[in-house]
Structure 1
Amino acid sequence: MDKKQQEALEQHPIVQTVIEYQNGVTDGDAGGFAEWHSFREFYQKWMRSETDRSRYPDDYANLRLAVYLAAFGMYRGSGFLRRGTHAIHQRAWSVLDRESLAELQDCDFQTAFNKAGQISDLVGKLTTAYEPLKSRSRSAVKEGIKPAADQCDGSPLSPEQDALKTLTTKVVLGTVVCLPAYDAYACFAVRKLGIGPPKTDVSGLERLFGFALEHQREFEAAAKEVGNPPLIRVLDMYLWRIGAVDAEKKSATRKEESEKWRATEKETRELKRGPIRTKNI
């Protein structure tokens, strides 16, 4: 463990940080937790039972996926998913409807490490399934719609790369649960922990799951504190919370700086005006 990672772990202890995430859910700060549970159960039943598949038409499955993604913020603002209907998710189901994914379902860190190639391939196929969104993203940029800013470091997100990575990894998190969601918060956390660039290629995933394996006991202890969800979900909670804490600190700093600037401007204006003179009657 290098110094950077040690400092980050001291600042964000795994068990305590995951509990903070759970407490945030209770307080309404981390939306989507209940919807994640609901959608995951729907997906597992849908995969196991032909009866459930015949009961729920494709359009309903698309709608459930859209609702889950909306709960995780993928339909907010000028997000590219809002430029189409929930039918855009139909191609994703063709990727998720595979018996070969059963061994990845709710897998532990060791399995995820060993199957990093298969997980990377799954993300790649989902990216291809959502390929039409790339043209929509380009159109949005031409129309002057700015890409969303990374709330953690202020850098702009590429509509064609980062947004699709966030989308596909959130789909994986809600279905197979073999990979955390790589949103802005999680990507920031991966860098802060010294794991390396937050990539979904084989080497990037091996670095991520290698880190998780090194701290498996802490993640298992954290899981017991929050209802024993799959370990990958606990890892996702941990990464999200690190990024959220940093964003909160930066937001507070910006607010404080803004208030100081306003106070200084007010004082400057008053000095320029000078004392208020009153007429003698």
Structure 2
Amino acid sequence: MIEIIDKYLKENNKEFQRYNSWNHCYKAFGDLSKSNDELALHLGFYLASWGMYRDSSQLLQKDYTVHLQMVEVIRAFQDLRCTTKFEVSINDLDRIIALIQATKEVYGSIGVTATNTLVTKIILGTLGCLPAYDRFFIAGLKQCKEPFTTLSKTSLTKLLGYVEQHKQELESIKREKKLQGYPLMKLVDMYFWQIGYEKSNIKKD
């Protein structure tokens, strides 16, 4: 696992690289003394960096205030924010499902389709209690034949079980790579994303 994560870090943690936007956004949401406007701006720029404003995206037609309601939701679910002292477990499953639903409702109410990709990118960038379910992450899961490819209760249960099963290894990687500020779900995201990305490139070749 560490070799795959190391590849991700070498490719995506360069100065000014767009994937650094996760670091900035996640750090910002760790300081709730910041105004809703400032947090909404961080969230919007992070989502833009991570591809959620491209092409025909409905977000592309909105300004940053479209995220203000979501900031309030994130404040209400701070008990799920992963830190050096707390990581989510199976005990938090119902709260995670409630967070997913609340996120979908917020964006649905303002005419933005809350896809699983959008929902999980928001959650990863603010609370860190889920990986981002984008196409490379899903491709990585399928390549490894992992069963947690959706946001159903059964699938999320298996995801949380995977993290618990690999917790010691993930914590060791955090120490070795000096990623103490990263939640375990972020490492899981990096691992499967990199596998999916490499598989995609192989297919193109």
* Residue in 1 that maps onto 2:97: 120
Once the two structures are superposed, the pairs formed by residues 79-228 of structure 1 within 5 Å of their partners are 79-98=57-76, 100-106=77-83, 107-108=86-87, 111-132=88-109, 135=111, 160=113, 164-228=115-179
* Residue in 1 that maps onto 2:7: 20
User: Can you list the C-alpha shifts for 1:198-231, whole angstroms capped at 9, x where unaligned?
Assistant: 1223211111121222222322232223322221
* Residue in 2 that maps onto 1:60: 38
State which structure, 1 or 2, has the greater radius of gyration over its C-alpha atoms: 1
Secondary structure in 1 matching 2:52:
coil
- Paired AA for residue 194 in structure 2: R
1:37 matched to 2:23? The reply is yes
- C-alpha separation in 1, matches of 2:75 and 2:109: 20
- Paired AA for residue 246 in structure 1: K
- C-alpha separation in 1, matches of 2:147 and 2:80: 27
Following superposition, the deviation at residue 176 of structure 1 comes to 0.9
Runs (5+) with no aligned partner, structure 1: 1-13, 137-159, 253-281
| CA contact 1:177–1:232 (8 Å) conserved in 2 | yes
- C-alpha separation in 1, matches of 2:44 and 2:155: 28
Secondary structure in 1 matching 2:30:
helix
Following superposition, the deviation at residue 197 of structure 1 comes to 5.0
Give the % identical residues. Answer: 25
User: Can you list the C-alpha shifts for 1:8-42, whole angstroms capped at 9, x where unaligned?
Assistant: xxxxxx111001100111468x9533221111121
Could you say what the CA RMSD is over the residues aligned between the two structures, in angstroms? Answer: 2.2
Following superposition, the deviation at residue 79 of structure 1 comes to 1.9
- Paired AA for residue 201 in structure 1: S
Following superposition, the deviation at residue 115 of structure 1 comes to 0.9
- C-alpha separation in 2, matches of 1:227 and 1:132: 40
TM-score w.r.t. length of structure 2:
0.87
Following superposition, the deviation at residue 88 of structure 1 comes to 1.3
Runs (5+) with no aligned partner, structure 2: none
- C-alpha separation in 2, matches of 1:103 and 1:244: 28
- C-alpha separation in 2, matches of 1:217 and 1:197: 20
TM-score w.r.t. length of structure 1:
0.65
